[in-house]
Amino acid sequence: MTLAYWNGTWQPLAEVTVSPLDRGFLFADGVYEVVAVYDGRIFELDAHLDRLARSLAAVRIDPGLDRAGLAAVFQRLAADAPRPAATIYMQVTRGAPAQRSHAFPAGAQASILAFASALKRLGRAQQEDGFALVSAPDIRWLRCDIKSIALLPSVLAAQNAAEAGVLETVMLRDGLVSECAASNVFVVKDGKVATPAADHRILDGINRRIAIRLAEELGIAVEQRDVAEVELRAADEIWITSTTKELAPIVRLDGAAVGTGRPGPVWRRVRDAFDRLVGQPA
């Protein structure tokens, strides 16, 4: 049985029923978070709560729970989350008013759903082989900094990767790298690391921030700036980061080898630091 939090109640996920008028269902009018849980401990909860607050404020949804209330929901789910690793998904929509109408309804209460799932980490042996990416145009909107549940372009990009038999699709806009369907991108050239700046064009990933911090603690500077598609294709190393993929080395892009075609030395140093931080081997 998977336990779910649903609008102030705790019940089996399979028994949660949602109104057809919920604005998440009708308009994708909501935001979400995904946090990792390692051996029952939530990874970087404060950073995720900060980002959830930013997403909610950006779309002007009042979740009806304060930060401590939201944290308590995450903590309750973490206590019983699958081990050794899990994720907790939380989404907040603008609720289910009596009528469908685009503008904000008066008096509707936000709907909050949260539940945990087992996380199958990308194992060390798989990491040592490395992963592949394909590229596609970034067809999303211009507020990718909001962690919106309106994910259709990301769904299509992820399906594109699945059909190509690769880990992710890297999205390109105006000759620049944005990010993958559900992860951020880093490139390494001549020992220098760069990643797209966290502006409106990408989600400011929590593991992106962790990777930057860990690299800097190792004395490896990370430039946050525009990254051109040509840099991506000429990179010695590419990594992608996310809560679920952690810090994954990319060895093929659109069928061509990245660098030597093996995970690179800069990735390895940051990855080792990541595993130490998480406290369990992948």
For position 243 contacting ligand PDD by CB under 6 A, the verdict is yes
For position 91 contacting ligand PDD by CB under 6 A, the verdict is no
Shortest CB 80 distance to ligand PDD, Å? 20
Query: Residue 194's CB: how many other CB atoms inside 10 A?
Result: 22
Contact between residue 263 and residue 130 where contact means Cβ atoms under 8 Å apart:
yes
Q: Can you tell me which of 182, 214, 248, 251 binds ligand PDD, judged by CB under 6 A? A: 182
For position 179 contacting ligand PDD by CB under 6 A, the verdict is yes
Contact between residue 157 and residue 167 where contact means Cβ atoms under 8 Å apart:
no
Which residues have a Cβ under 8 Å from the Cβ of 255 and sit 6 or more positions away?
132
Catalytic residues: 147
For position 207 contacting ligand PDD by CB under 6 A, the verdict is yes
Query: Applying CB under 6 A, which part among 116-124, 159-167, 177-185, 267-275 lies near ligand PDD?
Result: 177-185
The 7-36 contact track toward ligand PDD, x by CB under 6 A, reads: ---------------------------x--
Q: Which residue is nearest to ligand PDD (CB)?
A: 205
Shortest CB 56 distance to ligand PDD, Å? 16
Nearest to 209 by CA among 197, 201, 218, 226: 197
Q: Which residues pair with 52 in a beta bridge?
A: none
Contact between residue 93 and residue 110 where contact means Cβ atoms under 8 Å apart:
yes
SS3 for 249?
strand
Nearest to 9 by CA among 55, 66, 76: 76
For position 198 contacting ligand PDD by CB under 6 A, the verdict is no
Point out which residues bind ligand PDD (CB under 6 A): 34, 154, 179, 182-184, 203, 205-208, 241-244
